[in-house]
């Protein structure tokens, strides 16, 4: 069965330090991978996506993600965290041929402390 795992419910990091939010997936074929951010009482906002090609994808607000096919991972990264990055982050997967559904991870709450 298709699944997306975000192993950490919460990640704490100091402002200015690098951050990583982890995501692994179990989906057949070569799926499309996405990261979203959610602020309180708001919908999900798209951050970045992996299609094929470069294993390091750059997205909005200085975020990037590293794709690793052998480990089936798509970790979200940022070189220098800001307090305003504190939010809930979701990893999502879309199958390439059964693309009417998206599979979401359980979310990771990022806390950036000043």
Partner 1 sequence: DGGITQSPKYLFRKEGQNVTLSCEQNLNHDAMYWYRQDPGQGLRLIYYSQIVNDFQKGDIAEGYSVSREKKESFPLTVTSAQKNPTAFYLCASSILRLRDSNQPQHFGDGTRLSIL
51 near partner 1, judged by CB under 8 A: yes
34 near partner 1, judged by CB under 8 A: yes
Applying CB under 8 A, which of residues 20, 24, 32, 64 lies at the interface with partner 1?
A: 32
The residue length of the chain stands at 114
Contact segment (CB under 8 A) with partner 1 among 20-28, 63-71, 75-83, 86-94 equals 86-94
What residues are paired with 45 via a beta bridge? 37
66 CA to centre of own chain: 9
Applying CB under 8 A, which of residues 20, 73, 86, 104 lies at the interface with partner 1?
A: 104
Judged on CB neighbours under 10 Å (0-12, 13-18, 19+), 23 is buried
């Amino acid at each position: 069965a298709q699944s997306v795992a975000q192993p950490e419910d919460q990640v704490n990091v100091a402002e200015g330090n690098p951050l990583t939010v982890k995501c692994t997936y179990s989906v057949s074929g070569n799926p499309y991978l996405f990261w979203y951010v959610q602020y309180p009482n708001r919908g999900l906002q798209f951050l970045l996506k992996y299609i094929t090609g470069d294993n390091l994808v750059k997205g909005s607000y200085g975020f990037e993600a590293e794709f690793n096919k052998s480990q089936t991972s798509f970790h979200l990264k940022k070189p220098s965290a800001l307090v305003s990055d504190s939010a809930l982050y979701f990893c999502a997967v879309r199958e390439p041929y059964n693309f009417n559904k998206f599979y979401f991870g359980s979310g990771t709450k990022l806390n950036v402390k000043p």
